[in-house]
Amino acid sequence: MLEVDDLAVDIAGAPVLAGVSLAVGAGEALGLVGESGCGKSMTALAVLGLLPRAAQVRAGSVRLKGAELLGAPEKALRQVRGGSVGMIFQEPGACLDPVMRVGRQIGEVLRLHRGLRGAAEQKALRDLLLEVGLNDTERVARAYPHELSGGMQQRAMIAMALAGEPVLLIADEPTTALDARIASQILDLLDRLRRERGLALLLISHDLAVIGGRCDRVLVMYAGRAVEAASANEIFDAARHPYTSALIAASPGLAGVARKAALRDIPGQLPPPGSAGAGCAFAPRCARARPVCGERLPAWTALGAAHAVRCLQFEEGW
């Protein structure tokens, strides 16, 4: 459904994404994980043609159902956004207009993207609200966003994302602002929608515990690059990249990890864009790094059918 190939994006001349490739099929969930600032949102925004003005796409392609989105005319991109691609963000305010009733906002998408009017629009609105668990449909439709709880706002944003009948849902930190119980309900809802609607889901989080049980495959990013790709099981049971292992060790929400005596923060900091040297950007923080790691960029090494890693220790001559 979605194929991103070798995507490279600069902001003000500094690379924020370099050689990012990923693919998500219908009914499949891909998790994108990495600490804050590693380029997850930029990847999502590039897919949507919503990169900041200062950003420049240097290379790569983004295809939705085979059609190239990079460089596509704004008119075509407007059909994609809120139409074939639904978006959910951390802040409902990013999607919901604070001064418009929820029902009217969703109704606008139903009119714009599906041409529904009158009773058909009202029925579609009610069905959508029920589908996302907002059962008091009349009250919710009449409410302004601030009159709803955080979890309900998130559900309303999901209903809006679904209103254009998307084939792909991009959820960027959808639960980061919610408490654990509500977060888990929202993730369950996304999971159910993916299965019932056969949606491709790109689930983005800085938190591996969020990605964990809800994705088929996981892509780990560091400093604008993908560094490890694997099935969700393999990421947890057989992580190979030292950065992935550090993320797991630093993730308090993961079963098993919580029982370890000390949760280790990852020492050091993500390098700002453009400041990484010629080699692996993680090398300065990596306990296993050798001098060569700072000199040469690792290539992908395949470790199994669906598991690959970018780290010199898996290359010949280590």
Length of the chain: 318
CB of 183 to ligand ADP, least distance (A): 18
Q: Are 229 and 205 in contact (CB under 8 A)?
A: no
Using CB under 5 A, which residues numbered 2 to 41 contact Mg ion?
A: 40-41
Q: How far apart are the first and last CA of the chain?
A: 38
Nearer residue to ligand ADP within complex by CB, 37 or 294 = 37
Nearer residue to Mg ion within complex by CB, 28 or 173 = 173
Nearest residue by C-beta to ligand ADP? 41
251 part of the interface to Mg ion, by CB under 5 A: no
Nearer residue to ligand ADP within complex by CB, 36 or 233 = 36
Nearest residue by C-beta to Mg ion? 41
CB burial readout 191-212, b (16+ within 10 A) else e: bebbeebebbbbbbbbbbbbbb
Nearer residue to ligand ADP within complex by CB, 52 or 198 = 52
Judged by beta carbon distances under 5 to 8 A according to partner kind, the member of ligand ADP, Mg ion, none in contact with residue 251 is none
Residues facing residue 205 across a β-bridge: 33
Interface pattern 252-281 for ligand ADP (x via CB under 6 A): ---------------------x--------
Using CB under 6 A, which residues numbered 76 to 135 contact ligand ADP?
A: none
Q: How far apart are CA 99 and CA 105, in angstroms?
A: 10
**In Å, how far are 112, 122, 164, 166 from 158, measured between CA atoms?**
17, 17, 11, 11
**In Å, how far are 20, 156, 206 from 17, measured between CA atoms?**
7, 31, 16
194 part of the interface to ligand ADP, by CB under 6 A: no
Position among 1, 2, 4, 16 found at the interface with ligand ADP (CB under 6 A): 16
Q: How far apart are CA 232 and CA 261, in angstroms?
A: 25
**In Å, how far are 93, 136, 184, 223 from 148, measured between CA atoms?**
12, 12, 18, 37
Judged by beta carbon distances under 5 to 8 A according to partner kind, the member of ligand ADP, Mg ion, none in contact with residue 99 is none
153 part of the interface to Mg ion, by CB under 5 A: no
CB burial readout 91-118, b (16+ within 10 A) else e: ebeebbeeeebbbebbbbbbeebeebee
Number of Cβ atoms within 10 Å of the Cβ of 300: 17
205 part of the interface to Mg ion, by CB under 5 A: no
CB of 223 to ligand ADP, least distance (A): 8
**In Å, how far are 177, 195, 241, 285 from 268, measured between CA atoms?**
25, 39, 17, 6
Interface pattern 29-48 for ligand ADP (x via CB under 6 A): -----x-xxxxxxx------
CB of 91 to ligand ADP, least distance (A): 13
CB of 293 to ligand ADP, least distance (A): 21
Q: Residue 180: helix, strand or coil by DSSP?
A: helix
Judged by beta carbon distances under 5 to 8 A according to partner kind, the member of ligand ADP, Mg ion, none in contact with residue 37 is ligand ADP
How many residues bind Mg ion (CB under 5 A)? The answer is 2
Judged by beta carbon distances under 5 to 8 A according to partner kind, the member of Mg ion, ligand ADP, none in contact with residue 233 is none
Binding site for Mg ion (CB under 5 A): 40-41
Binding site for ligand ADP (CB under 6 A): 11, 16, 34, 36-42, 52, 54, 273
